[in-house]
Amino acid sequence: MSELQSPIDDVLMSEEQASNLTYFAFAKSTHAEPALVPARASIGELPDVLAGRYRLERLLGAGGMGAVYRARDLLHEQFGDPDPYIALKILSEEFAESPDASALLYSEFALTRRLRHDNVLHPYTFEVDTDCQRAFITMELMRGLTLDKLLCERPLGLPWKELRDIVLPLLDALAYAHRRGVLHGDMKPSNVMLSEDGVRLFDFGLGQAEEGILPGLPHLSRERFNAWTPGYAAPELLEGQPLSASADVYGVACVIYELAGGKHPFRRLPSTQARDEHLERELQAPQGLPKHCWPALRAALSFDPAARTITADQLRDAMGATSSWLQRLRRRA
């Protein structure tokens, strides 16, 4: 998703003006806030400062249900944090009043919080701004490129040396999430960031917990809010089957294939259409991929979930294995 220039930049006070304000962290409970937070309206009814603490600075991206902003945590700043920047995901206006949408946002937060992994985005808090009645998530600010942007810069894909450094951590993250009973549900290039701190999988907005995990989370029908992404969703999802780890494997395999050769395996067609047109018959190993990785990736791209038996862990092992290691294994057999 391209970085959108937000109109909020126009209505923000200058740094100088802002820094002249004395900020009281707990201003909400005092009468000082109106004097500190400019009263004028800002984009889409959003105040400039949320929950008396997070100053919205710039729109980073917008998606199906909400928007993500770069924000400054004024409380941390007040206590001398040299890097008080965070990212903040908030429901857009049309969803703000829907309790189901807030519950979905909470579910995204709860799923992500269950994961503590270097290659999964680190969430901070789930909060509600009581004045504007909007729920939002705060999280680490990733600085870098999402894989869709990387693909725009590298339309022919990446050589194995570079590819490996993205694909292995990405599969590590996904395999870990699956082990923790968390399904992602929206594996696609724009939901993976190549950040200054390494690869990060994020946006569990369409995610779900496996049966018995996080039982308190409401089970909401995702279809009511946000369709699956047709070019990356496995056929069974598009046909109404529930989300599964295997569907995530299909999505991540599309991402890996695209990174390896610059082209989506099935011309970005919805997987049901690609299957009905038998596009798998034309499927060839992408350029940048070593031969020993292809059988596993090919299996992960199976349209038929019964044939897609490979797990994220196994795909990771296959991608991480060196060809000489495989040769040694074969010789021993």
Ligand X SMILES: Nc1ncnc2c1ncn2[C@@H]1O[C@H](COP(=O)(O)OP(=O)(O)OP(=O)(O)O)[C@@H](O)[C@H]1O
In the complex, which residues of this chain contact ligand X (CB under 6 A)? 1, 60-61, 63-66, 68, 87, 89, 121, 139-142, 146, 186, 190-191, 202-203, 205
- List Cβ<8 Å contacts ≥24 apart for 223-228: 224/100, 225/64, 225/65, 225/95, 225/100, 225/101, 225/104, 226/64, 226/65, 228/185, 228/186
* Cβ proximity to ligand X, 68 vs 171, nearer residue: 68
Nearest residue to the partner Mg ion, using Cβ: 203
Please say whether the beta carbons of 183 and 210 come within 8 A.
yes
Name the minimum Å distance from CB 191 to Mg ion: 5
* Closer by beta carbon to ligand X, 107 or else 190: 190
Between 63 and 262, CB nearer to ligand X: 63
CB of 92 to ligand X, least distance (A): 9
The total number of residues shown for the chain amounts to 333
Least gap, CB of 148 to Mg ion (angstroms): 10
Kindly state the tokens that stand for 98.
Answer: 């829907």
203 binds Mg ion (CB under 5 A): yes
Q: Which of residues 58-77 bind Mg ion (CB under 5 A)?
A: 63
Which residue lies nearer to ligand X by CB, 37 or 135? 135
Nearer to ligand X, 142 or 319 (CB): 142
Ramachandran bin of 308, using left for φ above 0, alpha for ψ from -120 to 50, beta for the remaining angles: beta
CB of 243 to ligand X, least distance (A): 15
Q: Using CB under 5 A, pick the residue from 6, 138, 191, 229 that binds Mg ion.
A: 191
Residue 142 contact partner, candidates ligand X, Mg ion, none, CB within 5 to 8 A by sort of partner: ligand X
The residue whose Cβ lies closest to ligand X is: 63
We find the least distance from the C-beta atom of residue 188 to Mg ion, in angstroms, to be: 7
> Which residue type sits at 77?
E
> In whole angstroms, how close is the CB of 174 to Mg ion at the nearest point?
15
Work out what residue 66 binds among Mg ion, ligand X, none; the CB cut-off runs from 5 to 8 Å by kind: ligand X
Q: Which does 286 bind (CB under 5 to 8 A by kind): ligand X, Mg ion, none?
A: none
Specify the residue, 142 or 175, whose C-beta has the smaller distance to ligand X: 142
Nearer to ligand X, 51 or 137 (CB): 137
What's the min distance (Å) between Cβ of 121 and Mg ion? 11
Q: Check binding of 108 to Mg ion (CB under 5 A).
A: no
Nearer to ligand X, 89 or 222 (CB): 89
Write down the least CB distance from residue 146 to ligand X, Å: 5
Residues lying near Mg ion in the complex (CB under 5 A) are found at: 63, 191, 203
